[in-house]
């Protein structure tokens, strides 16, 4: 099998969000980056499928030069090689993203044969557009199932399981196909030290795609006002005792 996984470099968030001065992006000076979690499961699934059926797995990303870090991470897990569509950091809207990825797929397939299966995340962890996988499938003329928690290759078709209302919807798609997956599909492996060493020498094909004009443009980001929890200092040492007693009586525990 020949399998492609498309991944996106996203910031590791979890604390307070700070925007850049132009309100166009998150301030990432103090943030780490990772592969979008849904796509990390896609990477793991591609590796497992190649281990089971043989063949080759390829990881692709559209992103700045720094996104090479995420490609190396995927190759450290076991992906065979990488395609880096290197940008200047400017935003590609979903349609521009699909155009760039589809061109890269066409070039790779012309050189080394068609991909049997293409994995994407159901939605990216940052912009959450919910459409790149389906647009890509439409452009490639291949069937697509989304939001998958189960992917099983059975001969010339793939069985796709999607959680729905407490049960599972099951789709069967003929290969080649495009699938978008969700976190929980599997438990991604942690890259081993030898894996990381091998990843440094695996091939990365880098190109700079043209950016099509955006039709879905981000005007600005806004961080909504949160209800910040503040600590009130009642005093220090023995002088604080009175205030502490008053507070305990106020909240009914004394």
Partner 1 sequence: MNLVLIQPGDEASLQAITLARSLGGPVHALLIGSDEGASELAVDVVHVARHDGLTGFAPDAWARITTDTADRIGATAIVAAGTERGNDVMARVAARTGQPLAANCTSVDARRSHRADPHPLGRQPVRGGPPALRTGAADGSRRTPWRPIPPAPPARLRTSQPTSMTPISW
Q: Catalog residues that contact partner 1 under the rule CB under 8 A.
A: 10, 13-17, 19, 23, 26, 36, 93-95, 123-131, 133-135, 137-139, 143, 146-147, 164, 169, 213-224, 226
How much is the CA Rg of the chain, to the nearest whole Å? Answer: 23
- Shortest approach of partner 1 to residue 90 CB, angstroms? 14
- Shortest approach of partner 1 to residue 119 CB, angstroms? 16
Which residue's CB is nearer to partner 1, number 78 or number 147? 147
User: For residues 15, 61, 191 and 195, what is the CA-based torsion angle, rounded to 10 degrees?
Assistant: -150
Contacts of 141 (CB under 8 A, 6+ apart): none
- Shortest approach of partner 1 to residue 100 CB, angstroms? 16
Q: Show the CA angle centred on residue 144, arms to residues 190 and 137, nearest 5°.
A: 95
- Shortest approach of partner 1 to residue 196 CB, angstroms? 25
How many residues are given for the chain?
254
- Shortest approach of partner 1 to residue 60 CB, angstroms? 19
Which residue's CB is nearer to partner 1, number 72 or number 135? 135
Which residue's CB is nearer to partner 1, number 46 or number 148? 148
- Shortest approach of partner 1 to residue 112 CB, angstroms? 26
Contacts of 243 (CB under 8 A, 6+ apart): 234, 235
Tell me which residue of 112, 124, 116 sits closest to 156, measured CA to CA: 116
Which residue's CB is nearer to partner 1, number 35 or number 49? 35
Which residue's CB is nearer to partner 1, number 42 or number 78? 42
List residues bridging with 4 in a β-sheet. 58, 118
d(CA 67, CA 84): 8
* Cβ neighbour number for residue 81 with a 10 Å cutoff: 17
| DSSP conformation class of 241 | H
Which residue's CB is nearer to partner 1, number 222 or number 238? 222
Tell me which residue of 42, 35, 26, 21 sits closest to 66, measured CA to CA: 35
Which residue's CB is nearer to partner 1, number 82 or number 134? 134
Question: In whole angstroms, what separates CA 148 from the centre of its chain?
Answer: 14
Contacts of 99 (CB under 8 A, 6+ apart): 139, 209, 212
- Shortest approach of partner 1 to residue 59 CB, angstroms? 20
């Amino acid at each position: 099998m020949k399998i492609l996984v498309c991944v996106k470099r996203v910031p590791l968030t979890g604390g307070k969000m700070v925007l850049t001065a132009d309100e166009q992006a998150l301030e990432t000076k103090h943030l780490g980056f990772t592969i979008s979690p849904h796509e990390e499961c896609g990477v793991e699934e591609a590796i497992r499928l190649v281990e089971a059926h043989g063949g080759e797995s390829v990881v692709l990303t559209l992103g700045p030069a720094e996104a090479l870090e995420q490609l190396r991470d995927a190759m450290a897990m076991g992906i065979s090689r990488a395609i880096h569509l290197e940008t200047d950091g400017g935003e590609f809207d979903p349609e521009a993203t699909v155009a760039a990825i589809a061109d890269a797929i066409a070039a790779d397939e012309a050189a080394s044969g068609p991909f049997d299966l293409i994995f994407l995340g159901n939605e990216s962890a940052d912009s959450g557009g919910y459409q790149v996988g389906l647009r890509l499938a439409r452009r490639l003329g291949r069937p697509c199932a989304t939001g998958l928690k189960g992917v099983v290759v059975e001969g010339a078709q793939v069985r796709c399981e999607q959680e729905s209302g407490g049960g599972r919807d099951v789709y069967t798609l003929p290969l080649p196909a495009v699938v978008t997956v969700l976190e929980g599909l599997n438990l991604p492996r942690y890259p081993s030290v030898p894996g990381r060493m091998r990843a440094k020498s695996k091939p990365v094909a880098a190109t700079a795609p043209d950016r099509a004009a955006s039709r879905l443009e981000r005007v600005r980001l806004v961080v909504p006002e949160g209800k910040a929890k503040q600590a009130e200092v009642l005093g220090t040492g023995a002088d604080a005792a009175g205030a502490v007693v008053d507070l305990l009586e106020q909240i009914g525990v004394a």
